[in-house]
Amino acid sequence: MSVFQKTGPLSVLHAFMDASRWRASADKEASVHNDMISLYVLETGGCEGCAMEVESLCGSAFALDRYGFRRVADPADADWLLVTGAMSRACVQMLERVWNAMPPGKSLVAVGACAVDGGVFGSGYATIGGLRALTQVRRSIPGCPPSPQDILLGLQRLAGR
C-alpha cells in the first residue's frame, strides 16, 4: 500500500511522484544523447490523426528527449520539419512560411501516408496530394496514422541512431 494518500492534501505530491510510474513506454533503456535534433510540427489539412499521434509522442507519456529529439515552438529553432496532413492548397503558403523561417541545414520529414502523397484524400480541387506534389520526399514515416512508437522509430532511423 502506498504511504501517500490518493486524495486530499498530499495527493498532488503523490501525483507528482506517480507520474513516471504511469509512463506507458519502456524508455528507461534509452541512452542519453547530447546532439539533440529539434523538431517543428506542422499539420497541413488532414484528419489530424497523425498530428495527434505526434502530439502524444511529444507529451509526457514518452521521453522524447532521451532519444535525442526535442520539440520546438518556433521554426527558427528547428532542424527538422515534421509535416502531417494531405496538404490542402490553402496550406502551401503556410508550409513555405515555416520552411523559410528555418535555419540552413534543415530537413523535411513526411509523417503518415497523407503527408507523402495525400493518402485517402489524394489530390483534387482543394488538396495537392501531399508533399510529393511539391518536392521529392526523401524522408517519410508510413502509417495511417503511425503510432508514437512508429514515429519515434522512424525518427531514429532517419537520424541513423
Partner 1 sequence: MSDMGKVIRSGERVALSHYSLDAEQWEAMLAAPGATLPLLSCWADEHRVYVLLLKGDCPLMASTAVEDRRYLAPSSRFPAAEWGERVAYDLWGVEAMGASGEGQPALDEGVWEATWPLSSRPGPGGQAARPVPGRTVLPAEKSGLTGPLELSFDVVRGRVQAVSVNAGLAHRGVLHRMIGLTPEEALPLVSRMTAGGFVAHPVAFCRAVAQARGLQPGPGVRDCWMILLEIERMSVHLFDMARTARAVDAGLLATHCEHAREAIAFACAEQGVSRRLTDLVRCDGFRAGLEIVPLAQAVVSAMQPRMAQLRELQSVFAPRLKGLAVLTPTQAREFAVGGLVGRASGRSLDVRRREAGMRLDALRSTGSSEGDGAARDALRLNEIRDSLALIQRILGSIGMDDDEPAPEATQEGIGAAEGARGDIWYWVRLRHGKIEAVQARDPAVSLLSVLPDILKGELPEGLPAALRSLALSPSGVAM
Q: Which residues bind partner 1 (CB under 8 A)?
A: 6-8, 11-12, 14-16, 18-19, 22-25, 42-49, 51-53, 55-56, 59-62, 85-86, 88-94, 97-98, 119-122, 124-127, 144-145, 147-148
Q: Which residues contact 18 (CB under 8 A, 6 or more apart)?
A: none
Nearer to partner 1, 28 or 35 (CB): 28
Nearer to partner 1, 150 or 159 (CB): 150
Nearer to partner 1, 29 or 35 (CB): 29
CA dist list (Å): 119 to 16, 50, 142: 41, 12, 10
Q: How far is the CB of 114 from partner 1 (least distance, A)?
A: 8
Q: How far is the CB of 85 from partner 1 (least distance, A)?
A: 8
Cell output for 82: 515534421
Q: How far is the CB of 160 from partner 1 (least distance, A)?
A: 27
In terms of Cα–Cα distance, which of 49, 29, 34, 70 is closest to 112? 49
Q: What is the SS3 assignment for 51?
A: helix
Q: Could you tell me if 30 and 65 are in contact, meaning their C-beta atoms sit under 8 angstroms apart?
A: no
